[in-house]
Structure 1
């Protein structure tokens, strides 16, 4: 028999505590995707290709470790369950590793290898919290809609952590007192930015563990297996599951589109759109609207259209909206760059496009949980950690591809050296805009093609639950 909560609405306090666990991921994503490249490139003077390769190499190492973390968390047996020891144990080391990225630039500047190892440490420690934490989605409930709700709260808190970090970065830590100096290019605020992120990471991770502690203790314990598939066998089974392969192939490019957008955003806002510090400070407002809008809309969309079709529609819609501002700018249909009408129009397009990306991202992540029961019906075992780790590994390959694209693009358009926005050629800005807009369309189409092959819907999931319940009843009846 399997040890999960079978049905019924979960308490709101549990949903909030579970969601809180994703704050560390949100802080990490914002830091490494939005600010890391421009900091080490335009502030510390690294070549953008070197920075992108550091990020990509660390991400690949992290991605290869993910299935091991997932399998180990599945196999963990303690008096406080399988997942909580990971959250308690990794929180402090994760915060320390994060701090070192931002408060020791002199060390990093003299050692690319040291920087690489530091980024690897951050990524693996975040995974050591995120994989066990998100694996609880499939343990806490089998309900199709409650799982969507748990993923909604995870994304909400992850984005809130990222939003708080982003808002304070643009509005306080990285806002220059000198009107002639853009705060993103001023090194003085990055140490405080890193310390704030570290504090948020440790408080949220431990708070999530404590908030779920009692509930986890009340779950039936997973029976230890005397013999069973090896770790490599279980990982191989996961990656041979047709629905998982379809989801992974589509989500790879959903995440690539997202990573490309976020990694390029500071370059785009500074060098293409010529925004000031005061205008940059409004960007988190658009993010907040997109996130809260997606949080409200995604559950209704899943109930009406299903998770797969919602994801496909959302990413295609997002890419079309993302393309329009670049096309309008380059065709001469845009207000004067740097003005407030330009900022207002740009923020509107960015918010709507990000809304679609977030809906697509939540939908793909929510689809993983149903694969757990599909595998259980076929093989008789539950390997939540392996599936969620495999999905996170796919996400990281998507992030790596997005960062590689941006690193190459930044170098191609002439931003390898430190340069002020007003000194950058207008032709290069137009070229970068066309490439970014076109990439969004192409990546979304490839993502949609992959997701179309995902075959699990509400009806097939509920049929599997019925089959599993019948098997459990037969097992109980056969017991003496």
Structure 2
């Protein structure tokens, strides 16, 4: 049985914050690729929305296939900096450069879909090369059920704050038009500055996270030796995907992520074309997102202590889908204030905030559930493969993102937004059709997430029983007191 490479006691807040800082990169990448990429390359640069969605989906699939290999390689990495941090140090600068190029080369991208595809692949793979080793540290830094929730809370808080900062500055500064007759989202001039800002934040936050955790990581006992040959690598990956708890978790998390990706990828289209919002009204959207993020950060720990991680995720996913459905149904049934009014904006923002709150709670919960699978696998097989499990989870999340973006791309094309159009020139019947389809999708996605997550069987009691079993196995012969791992 492997020895636990974990220091005892509660983690200092500075370690939790340094760990969370590493997810800022993921937040920036998600906010850019999910919120602005499609409308930029479709409505600003003139790409067909189906081609844009195919570029995103193809890059996600390449990235997803690479993820388990990154996870297994990070498990096997041995250096004076540990087996995770060298990945963060090595990928930070190339990742920042790839991100800046994505928004600074519109002339190249306009004439080369293949070049755009490779740029997006580079961004996604380099982000994974940081995110997978970083998130795998959750299972190494502590085995405590609630401390892992705390690490995930900080991780998601920083991730969404990074994305929120990028979104807020995009709407309020970079993509805000000086001409009241022009919508800033449809003006190409601000996107290069948006990309440069994101690249700088990516570089600083990734290196800062690695430096902030370095002393703690070096103080951990060395992990056990692992086989490095390719057969062992693929055997571990296959073993992870045969774990019943892991299969149940990812089958539900797939749709939690699909719901989030569908919501975010459609946001600009919905606010411009369905709700007829102005630049000034769009600038308030990040405020609702901030409330959802901070609310979820405050609530998820209490929810896990009272209901457990699985039931918290299920309840939040169902509630989010139902809440997302309501404003679109009310709009189409004639029960909504005048479109484009400030009353309409305030009501919509309230519903969006509540729905996003549910999706964020569900996402934090499912991500935290991965860590308990590590000990379940350790009890059954005697090895710890944190990187493989977290990489597999992130891989499935990317399939969920791909599905969400595919749905939005097909929806945009189906309702006639393939060409560059101003909101006032779009037929009302098409806006109503888009609203009904989106509302129905959100209900269906919530139900599918619930069906998968219900089969996840690890709770607090079973996790603590496994920790006790591991402790007794590690206890030296004749030692009656033993140590809790």
Shift of 1:8: 2.1
Name the counterpart of 2:50. 49
Name the counterpart of 1:384. 386
Shift of 1:303: 0.3
> Can you give the 5+ residue segments of structure 1 that lack an aligned partner in the other structure?
none
Shift of 1:38: 0.2
Name the counterpart of 2:425. 423
Contact 1:8 1:143 in 2 (8 A): no
> Against the structure 1 CA distance between its residues 326 and 5, is the aligned structure 2 distance closer, same or farther, given a 3 Å change threshold?
same
Contact 1:3 1:219 in 2 (8 A): no
> For residues 216 and 2 of structure 1, what CA distance do their matches in structure 2 show?
16
Q: How does 1:43-442 map to 2 (within 5 A)?
A: 43-225=44-226, 230-442=232-444
Shift of 1:4: 2.5
Q: Show CA shifts across 1:232-274 (max 9, x none).
A: 1000000000000000100000100110000000000000000
State the SS of the aligned residue for 1:230: helix
Contact 2:76 2:226 in 1 (8 A): no
Contact 1:264 1:406 in 2 (8 A): yes
> Against the structure 1 CA distance between its residues 3 and 181, is the aligned structure 2 distance closer, same or farther, given a 3 Å change threshold?
same
State the SS of the aligned residue for 2:475: helix
**Runs of 4 or more above 2 Å deviation:** 1-4, 225-229, 474-477
> For residues 232 and 304 of structure 2, what CA distance do their matches in structure 1 show?
35
Q: Show CA shifts across 1:403-462 (max 9, x none).
A: 000000000000000000000000000000000000000011011000000000000000
Name the counterpart of 1:459. 461
RMSD of aligned residue pairs (Cα, Å): 1.2
Q: Show CA shifts across 1:101-157 (max 9, x none).
A: 000010111110000000000000000000000000000000000000000000000
> For residues 227 and 69 of structure 2, what CA distance do their matches in structure 1 show?
20
Aligned length: 478
State the SS of the aligned residue for 1:453: coil
> For residues 41 and 239 of structure 2, what CA distance do their matches in structure 1 show?
40
Shift of 1:5: 1.9
Name the counterpart of 1:38. 39
Contact 1:183 1:277 in 2 (8 A): yes
> For residues 476 and 239 of structure 1, what CA distance do their matches in structure 2 show?
38
Contact 1:102 1:190 in 2 (8 A): yes
Contact 1:22 1:157 in 2 (8 A): yes
Contact 2:76 2:228 in 1 (8 A): no
Q: Show CA shifts across 1:5-50 (max 9, x none).
A: 2542100100000000000000000000000000000000000000
Contact 1:7 1:143 in 2 (8 A): no
> For residues 121 and 308 of structure 1, what CA distance do their matches in structure 2 show?
34
Structure 1 length normalisation: TM-score?
0.98
Structure 2 length normalisation: TM-score?
0.97
Name the counterpart of 2:482. none
> For residues 6 and 328 of structure 1, what CA distance do their matches in structure 2 show?
53
Shift of 1:224: 1.5
State the SS of the aligned residue for 1:269: helix
> For residues 294 and 74 of structure 1, what CA distance do their matches in structure 2 show?
31
> For residues 7 and 111 of structure 1, what CA distance do their matches in structure 2 show?
53
Q: Show CA shifts across 1:314-361 (max 9, x none).
A: 000011100000000000000000010000000000001100000000
State the SS of the aligned residue for 1:46: coil
> For residues 3 and 457 of structure 1, what CA distance do their matches in structure 2 show?
21
Moved more, 246-255 or 223-232: 223-232
> For residues 6 and 215 of structure 1, what CA distance do their matches in structure 2 show?
9
Q: Show CA shifts across 1:156-204 (max 9, x none).
A: 0000000000000000000000100000000000000000000000000
> For residues 3 and 31 of structure 1, what CA distance do their matches in structure 2 show?
38
Shift of 1:475: 6.7
Shift of 1:373: 0.1
Contact 2:67 2:391 in 1 (8 A): yes
Contact 1:4 1:142 in 2 (8 A): no
